[in-house]
């Protein structure tokens, strides 16, 4: 079920993109698929969180996927907000198509990237691998950039490129901070290759160099703070 949670938005993303083949008759089909996708997402997300809460332990699938208490909170928030924004999108985008602002084919792209964006965010929350988590954060930028520029107008395309450039630079800072965490953990762990997993790094947290971790935190704060639009790194908003 844990894997199904991740695969659901990815599957519906592909199905929404496939609806492009229907051309101008795709509106109804892709809207139904989108509605089904967001409903399954919120049900699965809350089910995983509830299962972990009832068991009173961390929910994990091997070393690669991992949800602790904080991850469960973000997973629940992601599921609920993803569902609510998805519901709002239905009426909003139907209005845009009806008034000629978007074509039915572009609507398929919108819903496809919407579910792809949800998938990348789920991967960020559930990944236990430092580099996979960082790559997923960068993927959220790339997938959501298409949503920013979905209208194809000069202003929206300019906003999308501004968003990509600023956030990619920020995420690069976040990568450096992540690498510092890995390097610090690898130097004190018996098996250095296990330093790539957050759960294993946490077990050795008392052995980590506080100064190096503080430096890593600064880079992560600046980098991912830029990505989230945290003041004063919110120029792309």
Tell me: the pLDDT tens digits for 142-184? 999 999 989 988 888 888 898 889 888 888 999 999 999 999 9
Write down how long the chain is.
237
Nearest Cα to Cα of residue 65 among 122, 9, 142 = 122
Nearest Cα to Cα of residue 190 among 207, 212, 177, 178 = 207
Cα torsion 75, 77, 80, 85: sign: negative
Nearest Cα to Cα of residue 104 among 31, 34, 13 = 31
Cα torsion 168, 170, 173, 178: sign: negative
The answer to whether residues 232 and 225 touch, using CB atoms and an 8 Å cutoff, is: no
Which residue ranges make up each domain of the chain? 1-128, 130-237
**Per-residue pLDDT, 139:** 93
**Per-residue pLDDT, 57:** 58
**Per-residue pLDDT, 236:** 63
**Per-residue pLDDT, 227:** 80
What is the Cα 122 distance to its own chain's centre? 5
Which carries the bigger pLDDT value, residue 119 or residue 206? 119
The answer to whether residues 220 and 174 touch, using CB atoms and an 8 Å cutoff, is: yes
């Amino acid at each position: 079920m844990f894997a199904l949670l991740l695969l659901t938005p990815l599957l519906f993303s592909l199905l929404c993109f496939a609806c492009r083949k229907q051309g101008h008759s795709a509106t109804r089909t892709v809207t139904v698929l989108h509605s089904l996708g967001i409903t399954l997402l919120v049900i699965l997300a809350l089910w995983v969180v509830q299962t972990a809460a009832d068991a009173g332990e961390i929910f994990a699938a091997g070393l690669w996927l991992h949800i602790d208490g904080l991850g469960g909170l973000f997973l629940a928030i992601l599921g609920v907000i993803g569902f609510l924004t998805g519901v709002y999108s239905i009426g909003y985008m139907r209005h845009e198509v009806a008034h000629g602002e978007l074509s039915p084919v572009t609507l398929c792209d919108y819903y496809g990237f919407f579910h792809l964006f949800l998938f990348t965010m789920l991967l960020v929350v559930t990944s236990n691998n430092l580099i996979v988590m960082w790559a997923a954060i960068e993927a959220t930028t790339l997938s959501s950039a298409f949503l920013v520029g979905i209208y194809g107008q000069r202003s929206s395309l300019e906003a999308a490129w501004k968003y990509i450039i600023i956030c990619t630079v920020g995420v690069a800072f976040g990568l450096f901070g992540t690498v510092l965490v890995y390097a610090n953990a690898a130097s004190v762990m018996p098996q250095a290759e296990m330093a790539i997993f957050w759960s294993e790094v946490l077990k050795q947290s008392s052995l980590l160099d506080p100064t190096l971790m503080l430096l890593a935190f600064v880079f992560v704060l600046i980098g991912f703070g830029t990505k989230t639009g945290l003041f004063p790194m919110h120029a792309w908003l």
